[in-house]
Amino acid sequence: MAALITENFRFLSLFFKSKDVMIFNGLVALGTVGSQELFSVVAFHCPCSPARNYIYGLAAIGVPALALFLIGVIWNNHTWNLVAECHKRGAKNFSAAATFLLFGSIIGRAAVAPVTWSVISLLRGEAYICALSEFVDPASLDEFPSRYGPETLARFPCKDIPGNLTSFKEEVIRRLRYESQLFGWLLIGVIAVLVFLTKCLKHCCSPLSYRQEGYWAQYRSSEAKLFQRTAEVHSKILAANNVKQFFGFVALNKEEKELVEEFPVKGVQPSPQWNAITGVYIYRENKGFPLYSRLHKWAKGVEGNGPGPDGQEMVFLAT
């Protein structure tokens, strides 16, 4: 059991497999910070009303975070690779631990933006103050007038308060901002520890050397770029051939004519080939030689995901 768990922890290498992932996560975080600042200036207006404050404050933090999380899941290629894998082959090739960690890797990447949003919201404190101002215990405020209750405290985030309560307003806002920022810094600390532990686990559980991991990352990047570039050219030439067959001619510019002449396209790839290179990739070695992607595996004629008598399979999620 311990060996199975250790093997499947190799999925955690997803986050730190290449510098591109870290750069992308950094850009996502910066974009989220800018969006949060814009939202605070333009869209955030505390209703300053009992019961409504709490709902509005939580919604200001939670709803954008949820939307950013769902967008992150949708934009993650692994999500659709997993969907394709389940649709075409089912989940029979994955253990429960591997499936859990696979979902964890998808959720982890998607969590960058919502966590950043939540942290910035807590550090700013506006939504937290709006949500919890009415729940401050008046008895905790020295010499607070007894005739004022939660209805008045709910108006503290706004300017419309009785003049004799200004000092109490400052105290309440200062207290709530302290709590909000404390939670924000604690969240940053927890995330930092989790990232550190994940990176340590990745290095401890990786069956590959540091240099081979770097080579694998470079290979995946090169393969993805070349595949995308070639697919664009192939689809353009195929479309040109079909248009020409229909109209008898095709209007191409000079560059497109050169492409058609240089790369003749006579057919299309059948669906089984597309299915073979689509889905979640499990790192595999065949007779001691690594197979770095589904395309690499297809090119070498290796079938299936399960380890055979002449092959060795090591669970690793490729980007």
pLDDT, one tens digit per residue, over 194-219 is 989 887 877 777 777 878 888 988 99
The pairing of beta strand 282-286 with beta strand 311-317: antiparallel
pLDDT category at 1 given cuts 50, 70, 90 is very low
- Residues 237 and 265 sit within 8 Å (Cβ to Cβ): yes
pLDDT category at 27 given cuts 50, 70, 90 is low
Which residue type is seen at 257?
A: K
Q: What is the pLDDT of residue 149?
A: 75
**92 CB burial (10 A radius; 0-12, 13-18, 19+):** exposed
- Residues 197 and 12 sit within 8 Å (Cβ to Cβ): no
Average pLDDT value for the chain: 79
pLDDT category at 26 given cuts 50, 70, 90 is low
Q: If you compute the radius of gyration of the chain from its CA atoms, what whole number of angstroms results?
A: 28
Tell me the two tokens of residue 234. 């192939």
pLDDT category at 91 given cuts 50, 70, 90 is low
Q: Does the pLDDT at position 190 exceed 90?
A: yes
Mean pLDDT of the 115-141 span: 88
Phi/psi at 48 (nearest 5 deg)? 55, 45
- Integer Cα distance of 78 and 130 in angstroms: 38
pLDDT category at 308 given cuts 50, 70, 90 is very low
pLDDT category at 31 given cuts 50, 70, 90 is low
- Residues 121 and 127 sit within 8 Å (Cβ to Cβ): yes
pLDDT category at 14 given cuts 50, 70, 90 is very low
Q: Does the pLDDT at position 116 exceed 80?
A: yes
Mean pLDDT of the 252-274 span: 89
Q: Which residues pair with 285 in a beta bridge?
A: 290, 312
Q: What is the pLDDT of residue 129?
A: 92
- Residues 284 and 315 sit within 8 Å (Cβ to Cβ): no
Mean pLDDT of the 239-261 span: 91
For the CA atoms of 82, 86, 92, 93, what is the dihedral angle to 10 degrees?
Answer: -30
Q: Does the pLDDT at position 171 exceed 70?
A: yes
What is the tens place of the pLDDT at every residue in 145-169?
777 777 888 888 887 777 777 778 8
Q: How many helices (H) and strands (E) in the chain?
A: 13, 3
pLDDT category at 192 given cuts 50, 70, 90 is very high
What 3-state class would DSSP assign to 135?
helix
